[in-house]
Amino acid sequence: MSAKICILLKVDWFDLPMHYQEYKKLDGQKSENEYTKNLEIFFDETFEIFIHGNCIKHDSRTLALKAVMVKAKISMFEVNLIFTSVDNIASYT
């Protein structure tokens, strides 16, 4: 697990089972292990630009989301499910 997701898992607002439940409510079809793997990629690619507004890794949020799609080998629909599962629990932007 990356340092970013480990940090998020230790803060009060991040509850992995709750986020996975939200993902399933949104009709997400991945297993919890697959979701967790993709979530880690999601945080790794989007954290700086979405949370801090830093263009360290990507020049835009769109490019960060596209990087998630490529790195995780998932559709943009799936990327949006992951984003929404996080954002619905606690605002990610």
- pTM recorded for the entire structure: 0.84
| Measured distance CA(47)–CA(85) in Å, rounded | 15
State the pLDDT at residue 3: 54
Tokens 């801090």 correspond to 52
Contact 32, 20 (CB under 8 A): yes
State the pLDDT at residue 16: 81
Distance of CA 84 to the CA centre of its chain: 9
Q: Which residue has the higher pLDDT, 65 or 48?
A: 65
With 0-12 CB in 10 A as exposed, 13-18 as middle and 19+ as buried, what is 87? Answer: middle
State the pLDDT at residue 92: 84
Q: What is the mean pLDDT of the chain?
A: 87
